Amino acid sequence: MTDKIPVQDVTVDPAVGSHDPQQTVTQTMYAKREHLYVREIKGLFQRVRRTSNWALMALFFGLPWLQWGDRPAIWFNLPDREFHILGGTFYPQEFYLLGWLLIIGAFGLFLVTVFAGRVWCGYTCPQSVWTFLFIWTEHRIEGPRNRRIKLDKQSMTFDKLWRKSAKHAVWLLIAFATGATFVGYFTPIRELVMDFVTLDVGGWALFWVGFFTVFTYLNAGWLREQVCMYMCPYARFQAVMFDKDTLIVSYDEARGEPRGARKRGADPKALGLGDCIDCDLCVQVCPTGIDIRDGLQYECISCAACIDACDSVMDKMGYPRGLVRYTTEHALEGRKTQVLRPRLLGYLAGLLVMLGLFVWALGERTPLEFEIERDRNQLYQMTQDGRISNIFTLNVRNLDDREHTYEVQASGLPGLNLVGDGRITVGAGSTRIKAIELHLDADALDRPSLPIQVSLQSVDDADIREEREARFIGDIKR
Ligand code: SF4
Ligand code: SF4
């Protein structure tokens, strides 16, 4: 017999249970959101989580204030198309390095997910970090979970009004600081802050700071777990990377069931119960509002709040810890967990290869870029002494964090020589344009266009040298 997909006849009126073809019952596909009052919990994993959250926030808010010489250490200068990262300056031509970094990040994320599930989500994802900060603020202003529930149920009083107003004001302040800091990666933050202080902010800066303020306020203050559950694509495809040896937060059903309330110190075996006292604490601390006892769910961000909650209950009951714990499906089935497995080793190998290539590419990178362009007005000129002259423009970018002087050299044809000053000095992370004039004896040209090489050699660093190919043009029919 084949299984049938259960269907419901929507022409049946649920009130009377009879068919009425004229009347259809509308069923909504949208599950109404239940507001979560997340309970704060202490414990080992929450200490790790808090430390990681505060450290990441300090990094985000602090980095744009760091100076490197006379400019910000991290500055994505879009108008000038220059990306300053510590001592290095990168240009759009070097975007392949960013692509490389993204691939390395993806391999790292896959590796960590195969090994330890969604720890990225629980401990480091910006959405979790900012939601944690907003809930932390809420707790400080409105009080712990039970008081917050009571506050929301009661009618408006002065106490409720000031607490709600203060919470939203602090949320907006944090959101504004986040927006301004984010924009501060693209424009020097010291100037941006002074512009705000003197009420002299440019239109675009105001727009983007406003945009990210609203974005942060809504995401971390209002949407919270909804972002993880309905908007984040990673939540959807992470299951593909899980296997039975992946570390996940799990409830030990064999030990916990049957669940049930009992007095402290009571012997669960004598009562025919498992170790779960059905206190619901693991659900109350969960930032996504799920019950880990229902098994692994895609909403779980592996934050381990339920582990800390349950461990505290087990301590009080005098039971061993670990009813909810980081474990693997194989371990729960009583089988051996295999840490080193082909999938994990594959991602590790991919990560190491990409990292090695990235480091090699960085090592090979010369902190000098230049383009050579022919003078468009005149392909060539004849000099009074009968030589052919070609004029080129060099667009030179010094990608280093110190000034360099470069010597221009031309080669490729016998007798080819540079006329005038062949040196150009370019400041750290700056660009300069220089016109050069090359001369060649008319006899040396046996074709109207021949390849030549133009190079720049740093006079103070023998390793900094770049060469470009150009063409020398002249008339051979004179
Ligand atoms: S089930 Fe546990 S680990 Fe998963 S999100 Fe909820 S509290 Fe965090
Ligand atoms: S915290 Fe532990 S004991 Fe309490 S309901 Fe959750 S699993 Fe059961």
Q: Is residue 37 part of a domain?
A: no
Ligand 2 atom closest to the Cα of residue 277 is 3
What pLDDT, on a 0 to 100 scale, did the predictor assign at position 353? 95
Ligand nearest to the CA of 305: 1
Are residue 253 and residue 231 in the same domain, yes or no? no
What pLDDT, on a 0 to 100 scale, did the predictor assign at position 327? 95
Are residue 314 and residue 429 in the same domain, yes or no? no
Ligand 1: which residues within 6 Å by Cβ?
A: 249, 285-288, 290, 292, 300-306
Nearest alpha carbon, ligand 2 atom 2: 310
Query: The tokens 């031309």 sit on which residue?
Result: 410
What pLDDT, on a 0 to 100 scale, did the predictor assign at position 264? 86
Query: The tokens 């049930």 sit on which residue?
Result: 260
What is the whole-number distance in angstroms between the Cα of residue 277 and the centre of ligand 2?
Answer: 6
What is the whole-number distance in angstroms between the Cα of residue 309 and the centre of ligand 1?
Answer: 10
Query: The tokens 């001369």 sit on which residue?
Result: 439
Are residue 74 and residue 204 in the same domain, yes or no? yes
pLDDT beyond 60 at 117: yes
What pLDDT, on a 0 to 100 scale, did the predictor assign at position 11? 47
What is the whole-number distance in angstroms between the Cα of residue 343 and the centre of ligand 1?
Answer: 25
What pLDDT, on a 0 to 100 scale, did the predictor assign at position 91? 81
Percentage of the chain with pLDDT > 90?
A: 71
pLDDT beyond 50 at 17: no
Q: Is residue 30 part of a domain?
A: no
Are residue 180 and residue 285 in the same domain, yes or no? no
**Banded pLDDT at 10 (limits 50, 70, 90):** very low
User: Is any atom of ligand 2 closer than 6 Å to the C-beta of 114?
Assistant: no
The CATH number of residue 374's host domain is 2.60.40.10
What pLDDT, on a 0 to 100 scale, did the predictor assign at position 14? 47
Percentage of the chain with pLDDT > 70?
A: 93
Are residue 304 and residue 173 in the same domain, yes or no? no
User: Is any atom of ligand 2 closer than 6 Å to the C-beta of 286?
Assistant: no
Ligand nearest to the CA of 312: 2
Q: Cα-Cα-Cα-Cα dihedral of 305, 307, 309, 314, to 10°? A: 180
Question: What is the arithmetic mean of pLDDT over 96-106?
Answer: 90
For residues 103 and 233, give the distance between their C-alpha atoms in angstroms, rounded to a whole number: 17
- pTM for the model: 0.79
What pLDDT, on a 0 to 100 scale, did the predictor assign at position 2? 37
| Farthest CA pair distance, the chain | 114
Q: Shortest CA distance to 69 belongs to which of 82, 83, 88?
A: 88
Domain count, the chain: 3
Nearest alpha carbon, ligand 2 atom 6: 282
Mean pLDDT for the chain overall: 90
Q: Is residue 256 part of a domain?
A: yes
Q: Is residue 220 part of a domain?
A: yes
Tokens of 309: 């909650």
Nearest alpha carbon, ligand 2 atom 8: 276
What pLDDT, on a 0 to 100 scale, did the predictor assign at position 21? 52
pLDDT beyond 70 at 69: yes
For residues 453 and 17, give the distance between their C-alpha atoms in angstroms, rounded to a whole number: 89
**Banded pLDDT at 20 (limits 50, 70, 90):** low
Q: Using most ligand atoms within 8 A of CB, pick from 292, 313, 323 the residue to mutate for ligand 1.
A: 292
Are residue 288 and residue 224 in the same domain, yes or no? no
User: Is any atom of ligand 2 closer than 6 Å to the C-beta of 371?
Assistant: no
Instruction: For residue 448, give its domain range.
Output: 368-473
Q: Is residue 21 part of a domain?
A: no
Q: Cα-Cα-Cα-Cα dihedral of 255, 257, 259, 264, to 10°? A: -30
Q: Is residue 24 part of a domain?
A: no
User: Is any atom of ligand 2 closer than 6 Å to the C-beta of 228?
Assistant: no
The answer to whether 415 touches 359, Cβ cutoff 8 Å, is no
189-196 long-range contacts, CB within 8 A, separation 24+: 189/64, 189/65, 189/72, 190/65
pLDDT in tens, 423-463: 999 998 788 999 999 999 988 888 889 999 999 999 999 99
Query: The tokens 């051979």 sit on which residue?
Result: 476
**Banded pLDDT at 238 (limits 50, 70, 90):** confident
Question: What is the arithmetic mean of pLDDT over 96-119?
Answer: 92
The answer to whether 344 touches 86, Cβ cutoff 8 Å, is no
What pLDDT, on a 0 to 100 scale, did the predictor assign at position 8? 44
User: Is any atom of ligand 2 closer than 6 Å to the C-beta of 282?
Assistant: yes
Nearest alpha carbon, ligand 2 atom 4: 279
What pLDDT, on a 0 to 100 scale, did the predictor assign at position 23? 55
pLDDT in tens, 245-303: 999 999 999 999 999 999 888 889 999 999 999 999 999 999 999 999 999 888 899 99
Nearest alpha carbon, ligand 1 atom 5: 300
Are residue 174 and residue 248 in the same domain, yes or no? no
Domain's final residue, options 184, 211, 239: 239
| Secondary structure E strands in 32-78 | 67-68, 71-72, 74-77
What is the whole-number distance in angstroms between the Cα of residue 383 and the centre of ligand 1?
Answer: 81
DSSP structure class, residue 230: I
pLDDT beyond 50 at 416: yes
| Secondary structure E strands in 78-236 | 82-85, 88-90
Are residue 388 and residue 327 in the same domain, yes or no? no
Nearest alpha carbon, ligand 1 atom 2: 306
What pLDDT, on a 0 to 100 scale, did the predictor assign at position 33? 77
Nearest alpha carbon, ligand 2 atom 1: 310
Which residues 6+ apart lie within 8 Å of 56 measured at CB? 124, 126, 129
pLDDT in tens, 307-342: 999 999 999 999 999 999 999 999 999 999 998 999
What pLDDT, on a 0 to 100 scale, did the predictor assign at position 363? 86
| Secondary structure E strands in 208-337 | 248-251, 324-327
Residue type at 142 in one-letter notation: E
Q: Using most ligand atoms within 8 A of CB, pick from 45, 251, 281, 285 the residue to mutate for ligand 2.
A: 281
For residues 398 and 425, give the distance between their C-alpha atoms in angstroms, rounded to a whole number: 9
What pLDDT, on a 0 to 100 scale, did the predictor assign at position 26? 57
Are residue 251 and residue 290 in the same domain, yes or no? yes
Domain's final residue, options 220, 239, 258: 239
Ligand 2 atom closest to the Cα of residue 283 is 6
pLDDT in tens, 21-51: 555 555 555 567 788 999 999 999 999 999 9
DSSP structure class, residue 447: S
Name the most confidently modeled range: 2-11, 29-38, 92-101: 92-101
Please return the burial class of 363, using the count of CB atoms within 10 Å of its CB with bins 0-12, 13-18 and 19+.
exposed
User: Is any atom of ligand 2 closer than 6 Å to the C-beta of 41?
Assistant: no
For the chain, how big is the Rg over CA atoms in Å?
33
**Phi, psi for residue 374 in degrees, rounded to 5:** -75, 150
Q: CB count, 10 Å around CB of 96?
A: 9
Ligand nearest to the CA of 256: 2
Question: What is the arithmetic mean of pLDDT over 209-222?
Answer: 97
Domain's final residue, options 219, 239, 259: 239
The answer to whether 475 touches 389, Cβ cutoff 8 Å, is no
Are residue 227 and residue 251 in the same domain, yes or no? no
Are residue 138 and residue 165 in the same domain, yes or no? yes
Q: Is residue 112 part of a domain?
A: no
Q: Shortest CA distance to 137 belongs to which of 97, 177, 99, 92?
A: 177
The answer to whether 465 touches 456, Cβ cutoff 8 Å, is yes
Ligand 1 atom closest to the Cα of residue 324 is 2
For residues 244 and 250, give the distance between their C-alpha atoms in angstroms, rounded to a whole number: 12
User: Is any atom of ligand 2 closer than 6 Å to the C-beta of 281?
Assistant: yes
What is the whole-number distance in angstroms between the Cα of residue 294 and the centre of ligand 1?
Answer: 12
For residues 146 and 370, give the distance between their C-alpha atoms in angstroms, rounded to a whole number: 65
Ligand nearest to the CA of 302: 1
What pLDDT, on a 0 to 100 scale, did the predictor assign at position 7? 42
What pLDDT, on a 0 to 100 scale, did the predictor assign at position 29? 59
Ligand nearest to the CA of 273: 2
pLDDT in tens, 367-398: 899 999 998 888 899 998 889 999 999 999 98
Phi-psi region of 31 (alpha: psi -120 to 50; beta: other; left: phi over 0): beta
Are residue 147 and residue 221 in the same domain, yes or no? yes
What is the whole-number distance in angstroms between the Cα of residue 191 and the centre of ligand 2?
Answer: 52
Query: The tokens 């692509």 sit on which residue?
Result: 99
Q: Is residue 302 part of a domain?
A: yes
